[in-house]
Chain A
Amino acid sequence: MTHTHHRRGLLESLKEDYVVLIMSSKHVKYEDLQSKFKKAMDILAKHNPVNLGNMNVGNMYWRDEVDVISNFSEKSNIIHGVYTSRGDVERILLELKEADLGLSVVVTGVMDDVFKALKNVGLKPHTVNLSLGVWGRVEKLPREEILWITSMCGHCMVSPSLTLKMINDIRKGKTTPANAARELARCCVCGVFNVKRAEKILRQLSKTQPIP
């Protein structure tokens, strides 16, 4: 999650990409943390997530989804849901606000859209982490279209080589964009990989010239 704001892509594509993170702080003493997280996860799971993650377990494409949505620690937890529409994010925020769980909530997305969502549900943004992008030896990076996909796993667990293989496999008819996106999502342990957005990009890239 440290890296979700560094996702790359065309603006219209980024506008279909929201990550909602909910976490406890080790500096706060909570009561009944497990049930708070169960409630929070129920809310995330209710509003059309394209991925769910639980740092104690993993993501829903690698682990059993039942474990992902129900296995929480009494000490500390970090959970994620990924969405493609602002409407879903607004409904989640509204329910989280009403549930008043006291957990910290962070939304990543196109900043103006996130601010609109907050305004629509009567919340005021507290703190922001802006992205200044990638600096340094950028010529060493994989080509931009590959980064559109791989940057959806901030920890860089989705390898450029696997992404390229998936594009070529789609092109050869060995897999579909949906299956390829799910295979890539398994690598992103935290579950912040936007499977629907990846599917769309993979479909698009598999129709263009082969990538060397």
Chain B
Amino acid sequence: MVLINLDRCVGCRICIPYCTTNAIRFDSRLGKAVVDVEKCVECNTCVRVVPCPMDAIEVSPLSIGREVRSLFSDPVPVHASTGIPGRGTEEMKTNDVTGRFRRGEVGFAIDIGRPHIGLTFRELGRFIKTFSEIGVIYEKNNPIIYLMKDIEKGEVRDDIGDERILSAVLEFKVPLERVKDVIERLRYLAETTDTVFSIGVISRIEPDGTIPVIDVLKEVGVEVRPTAKVNVGLGKPLFIEGIE
């Protein structure tokens, strides 16, 4: 757990603005910086980059709850389930070799809590329940899946429900014709959640360069932003649909 060694801290306040969740504050009674453990998500940014003149920022061993916070807030640790650092999976980044998303399918990467607001696992459970109700196909390697007690009901493990994290990426796919159902659920969640979420929509690109899901999104009044991630198809062996 991240903490400030009060014997070393001289109260210079250099560390305070680096905190990603405003969990470090100046305690005027002590004349030193202190960490609010409820707000701290164990992202370790302060440990990595704060130029503390007294080396007063320290890390103590993590409890299970704090470790889970760190896994979903610090991009450095490698998740056992994904084999890669970060909160998501290989997603569409290796789709040229994995074929995870095929023609006629649409992937969603719902980045809950980002940017900057964060969430609890209990709130994550509410998102999962909302999408389980419409029968989406979850990405089985996503670390979130391992923390659920009952994915259909959106119930998270009892010991982590109230833990606060910077974000979690909920990944699933649906057939193109079910995209409208997903958008309806996203609109409901936007109205009822206490946090924010960023939405990524994943699609194969047709040989003629078109992206069918864009028309569906337009139809339901959803704006697609100008920026995108594009897998350029250089991975080998190239996954070829129909002969796997």
Residues of A within 8 A of B (CB): 1-7, 11, 14, 21, 23-28, 55, 62, 76, 78, 93, 96-97, 100-112, 114-115, 118, 123-138, 140-142, 147, 150-151, 154-157, 159-162, 164-165, 186-187, 189-190
Contact = CB atoms under 8 A, between A and B. Distances in A.
Given A25-B97, A108-B227, A186-B49, A130 B233 contact: no
> Which one of B90, B167, B228 has the highest number of Cβ atoms from chain A below 10 Å of its Cβ?
B228
B73 to A, nearest CB: 8
Contacts of A128: 92, 202-203, 205, 211, 228-231
Interface of B: 16-20, 22, 43, 45, 48-49, 75-76, 82-88, 90-98, 101, 107, 109, 111, 114-117, 166-167, 169, 186, 189-190, 193-205, 207, 209, 211, 213-214, 217, 222-237
A125 B233 contact: yes
Contacts of B115: 6, 134, 141, 147, 150-151, 156
Nearest to A22: B234
B88 to A, nearest CB: 4
A143 to B, nearest CB: 12
Contact of A161 (B17, B169, B237): B17
Q: Which 8 A-B pairs have the closest CB atoms?
A: A102-B236, A126-B233, A104-B235, A25-B94, A132-B199, A111-B228, A161-B17, A129-B229
B114 to A, nearest CB: 6
Classify the interface of chain A: helix, strand, loop or mixed. Answer: mixed
> Which one of B88, B217, B231 has the highest number of Cβ atoms from chain A below 10 Å of its Cβ?
B231
B164 to A, nearest CB: 13
A139 B76 CA distance: 29
Contact of A104 (B93, B101, B209): B93
B90 A137 contact: no
A136 B90 contact: no
A136 B230 contact: no
A2 B48 CA distance: 21
Given A6-B227, A157-B75, 19 more contacts: A2-B91, A6-B200, A28-B237, A102-B235, A102-B237, A105-B232, A105-B234, A111-B230, A123-B232, A126-B205, A134-B114, A135-B197, A137-B193, A140-B117, A140-B196, A141-B196, A155-B75, A159-B18, A189-B76
